[in-house]
Structures are given as C-alpha cells and as structure tokens.
Structure 1
Amino acid sequence: MLDGLDLIIRTLLILGALLLIARILGRRTLSELTFYDFVIGLIIGNIGSAVITETEFGMLQGLVSLVTATIWLLLIEMISLKFVAARKLIEAEPLMIMHKGKILDANLKKRYYNVNDLLEMLREQGIFDPDQVEVALIEPDGELSVLKKTEYEPPAAKDFNAFKQTTTPASHLAAKEIIIDGKIIEQGLAQSGLTREELTAQLNNKGITNMADVTVAMLTPEGELYVDRQKDSKDS
C-alpha cells in the first residue's frame, strides 16, 4: 500500500512528466487525433496511472517507459516529415468518397462508412442535397472535408455589389431518405407523398430500372429526387 506522502510525490512527478511530454509532442484537439494517436495516448496514460497506483512499478521504470514512448513518437513524426512514402504508410491519406454529386461506394467501404454515416456528416456541414457536392474527402482523422459545386458556394463579399442575395426556403422533407442500399424506406416514402409507381417512374426517367442499383435516393430541399447509383466512378 502507498502511504499518503508517497502517493502525493508520485502523482506530482508523473503529472509533471506528462505535462513536459505534452509540451514536447505538441497539442491536438480530440477531433484531430488519428486512431494511432489515440492508442498511444491511452498507453502513456496507463503508464502514468500504473506508476502512481502500483508499488511494484517503480518511479524509475515509469519514467523510462514514458521517455521511451515519447522518443518513439518523436521518431515517427520526424520520419513522417522527412519521407513522403513513410508518411503514406504511417498516416492514412485523404480518400475521395464523393465526386460531382456521386457517391464512390468502393471508397466509402474502405473507411468502413455506410451511406447513413455519410449523409449524417453532410448534414452536420449544412448540406442536405448531396448533388451540391463537387468533392468530398475523408481525412486521416475521420473528418469529412467538402467542396461544394461553384453554383452552391456562398457569395463572397465582393459578389454582393454585383448580385442580390436570394434565399430558397428549405423543404421540411429535406434529406428524407426514400431508398437506402437498394431498399425502400417505407416511412420516408410515405412522408415524401410519392407512391411506389411514381417513385419507379422517376427512377426510370433517370435510367434506373433496378432499384437494387440505387445506393441512396432522397428529396433535396428544393423537392427534387436525388439518386446515387451503386458503383459510381469519379469520372462518370
């Protein structure tokens, strides 16, 4: 058992060491951490807690472990900075998952995301119509970066002298999914006001005869039917 004074000394020393490590390694917000960063952080935290609470794990052993982990991280960072090939191996590259309003299904699956995940991330960025997206990338930290098509970008300050800003009221049915992965969402279909026959007709007008080919179909804020097919390529 640790007595009170020994526990206080161990805690203060480890907290000081962790503060020094944080200053050396730099700071990132939790949303910027990659999975590897997160795991290393857990390991360093576990080493610190073990030193504080376990008498079998001496202060010297703990400090050696913390220094070793810090040196390892610094080496990884230096290698990543110096060698592009190593950077690609250590850190995942941004992956394009949408191009010109089309979802790149194969790339989406590489990051273990499904269509609902993508639609949620788009809505978080205020995008309720996937057709407004020029390019969407999943960053190494899992965040979604989106470039809208030019016509959907908000006007810059210099544009206000030339154009009068207009607003289009968003439909209450915006982003209501009607088809997901080839299956009709009955609630979404009912709320859309479309019958199955009308939905089939609209799909046929877009050249889609098999509903199983549809990754997602949904209503846009303008009331239009947005459809994305399976196996879209970025060149299509």
Structure 2
Amino acid sequence: MPEYLTIIIRATSILVVLFFVTKMLGKKQISELSFFEYIIGNTVGSIGAEIITGLDNSFIHGVIGIIAFISIPFAANLLAIKSKHLREFLDGKGTVLIRDGNIIEKNLKKERYTPDELMKLLRRKSVFQFSDVEFAILESTGELNVLLKREKQPLTPSDINLKVAPIKEPRTVIMDGKMINEALEFIGKSNEWMTSELEKLGVSVESIFIGQLESNGQLIIDQYDDSISTNESVDEGPYLVAILNKCQADLELFALSAHEEQAKLMYIKNSEKLKKVIQDTKKYLQ
C-alpha cells in the first residue's frame, strides 16, 4: 500500500478515535480546560500526530497510548466529583483580585498579572473603572468574573417593583426556505397559520433564509435576497394595545385591593390616564 494512502487511513482512524474519546469526557473539556487537562490534550495531540506520520510505528500501540492518556483525566474527574480537595488540586481555585473597589496587589502578583492586563479583562466585561467593582475573581480557567457595586448596576424591573411578562426563547420556524414542522407544533401553530402570516408580509416561504417567531408573537425573517429589507415583522399595534389594556386592568385590580384610601385614589387616577392613552393609541394605529 502506498505511504500516502496509509497516512490518510491512519489520520481518518485517529480522528474517529479522538472524537469518541472526547465525547466520552463530556463538554467540560471543550469549554474549560484545567492545567491537568491542558497537558493531557497536548500529549494526546502529539501521540496522534506521531501515529499518523510515523509509518514504522505500530498503529495499535499508538491507539492504546491515546486511550491510556484519556483514561487518566476521566478517572480523575470521577474522583474529583467526590473530593473537594482533589478538585481544587486538579482544577485550581479562583483568586480574588478586587474587593470593595480596591485591587489586591499581592493576589495580582501571585497570578502574574500586570495592572494593564487586569484593566483589559475588566474592559471585556464593559467595566472601565476598577472602583466601580464590588468583587472580581479570576477563575481557574483564566476568566475574570465581576460583580459591580449596587449603585453601579443597571436598573432592573424588580428594582422598581415592576412586574413584567416572562420571556421565552424565540423559535426558528423557517430555515433554508422550508417550514420546521416540529417547531410549529411545539408552539401550537399550523402550516396554514404560518402561510397566512407570510402573506401579510408579501413573501413566500421559499424566499426566506431563516425565520424566527419571538415570544411576543412577532415573526422576524431574513430573505435570501439581501437587497430586500430584512427583519420585517407582523404589525405590532394589536400587541401594544393588548399590553396597555393589561396594565390598565392591573391598575384597577390594585385599586380594589388597596387598603389605604390615598393609594386607591392613586391607582384609579393612573388607570384613567392609561385608559385615555389607549384610546389615543387606537386612533393613531387606525
């Protein structure tokens, strides 16, 4: 057999072996490598390269070597699940670099990071002033996780006691010009419904590269023809009016459940204001 054909067969076989042993180890080895796993990965790669190009060496012996090396982190992970000390020894521990807006210089030196490198990591988290940070820890994977001070954190609906509707993940209902029946069935929609929505937009399913249905009912599409305006959506007017009606109904409900007369009057007053806004909105949409 020609040498080039032997190399191709060996390379393909090693790729298959590495694929299955990596699948056996799980996704952690892909996303987050510890020092131990990094060494194992480099060694296995070197063995694989030697097997492919070293035509004088035994193919089976090389495969056995790869399996032996892969078995070490697999067994270590099983033991680490049961032992916290072993986990810390193999994976390492996080190091606190900032606490209460103050940089801990000794920990920075311990991890061999310069102030410039620390600021670079902070900027990756959209933080430009270390004094805004309540707590920052350098994980064993090299990622910096940052907790901003309370007054520097973005305002959320819960901070002002505002109730919002839950958001569900968007569903891809069209891909490569074809409807995805499984996705439509999951959200309780039919092909006929989707066809009618596309007719409102004046497009055909065959012209769409990808289409997503968002949690609020909007259909977002991207067409094959980039010269046509993309990200068209179904009319949002009825959805907006429905949200305003719900808010107005909530205010009336709050007024009925309020114990204090002042609070009750406030809810009633704002409910009437919102009712007028709804009426004006409907006129505008018409």
- Per the alignment, residue 71 of structure 1 pairs with 71
Shift of 1:34: 2.7
Q: Deviations over 1:104-134 (max 9, x none)?
A: 0111111111111111111111111111100
**Overall identity of the aligned pairs, in %:** 30
Residue number in structure 1 paired with 2:57: 57
Q: Which residue of 2 aligns with 1:22?
A: 22
- CA deviation string 1:64-109 (max 9, x = no partner): 1011011111111112111111111112111111100000011111
Aligned pair 1:102/2:99, yes or no? no
Task: Report the CA distance between 1:61 and its aligned residue.
Answer: 0.9
Larger radius of gyration: 2
CA separation of 1:30/1:118 partners in 2, compared to 1, >3 Å: closer, same or farther? farther
Matched, 1:35 2:35: yes
Question: What is the 5 A alignment of 1:140-179?
Answer: 140-159=140-159
Q: Which protein is richer in helix relative to its size?
A: 2
| Paired residues for 1:76-95 under 5 Å | 76-95=76-95
Cross-structure match for 1:47: 47
Question: Match of 1:75, as an amino acid?
Answer: A
| Runs of 5+ consecutive residues of structure 1 not aligned to the other structure | 163-236
Range 131-140 or range 27-36, more displaced: 27-36
Name the aligned partner's letter for residue 10 of structure 2.
R
Task: Return the letter of the residue paired with 1:43.
Answer: T
Q: Please, what is the CA RMSD of the aligned residues?
A: 2.0
* 1:8 Cα offset (Å): 2.3
| Cα distance, 1:73–1:2 mapped onto 2, change above 3 Å | farther
**Structure-2 separation of matches of 1:32 and 1:113:** 20
The answer to whether the Cα contact below 8 Å between 1:2 and 1:55 also exists between their aligned partners in 2 is: no
Structure 1 residues 112 and 40: alpha-carbon distance in aligned structure 2, compared to 1, 3 A threshold: same
- SS of 1:146 mapped into structure 2: strand
The one of the two structures with greater contact order (alpha-carbon pairs below 8 A, sep at least 6) is 1
Separation in 2, partners of 1:21, 1:46 = 16
Question: Which residue number corresponds to residue 222 of structure 1?
Answer: none
Q: Secondary structure at the match of 1:145?
A: strand
Deviations 1:19-43 (A, max 9, x none): 1111001134766223332222111
CA separation in 2, counterparts of 1:29 and 1:72?
Answer: 13
Residue 50 of structure 2 aligns with an amino acid whose one-letter code is A
Q: Deviations over 1:186-210 (max 9, x none)?
A: xxxxxxxxxxxxxxxxxxxxxxxxx
How far is 1:160 from its partner?
5.7
Which runs of 5 or more residues in structure 2 are unaligned? 163-286
Instruction: Tell me the number of residue pairs that the alignment of Structure 1 and Structure 2 aligns.
Output: 162
CA distance in 2, matches of 1:34, 1:109: 20
Say if 1:97 and 1:137, in contact at 8 Å, map to a contact too.
Answer: yes
Q: Give yes or no for the alignment of 1:138 onto 2:177.
A: no
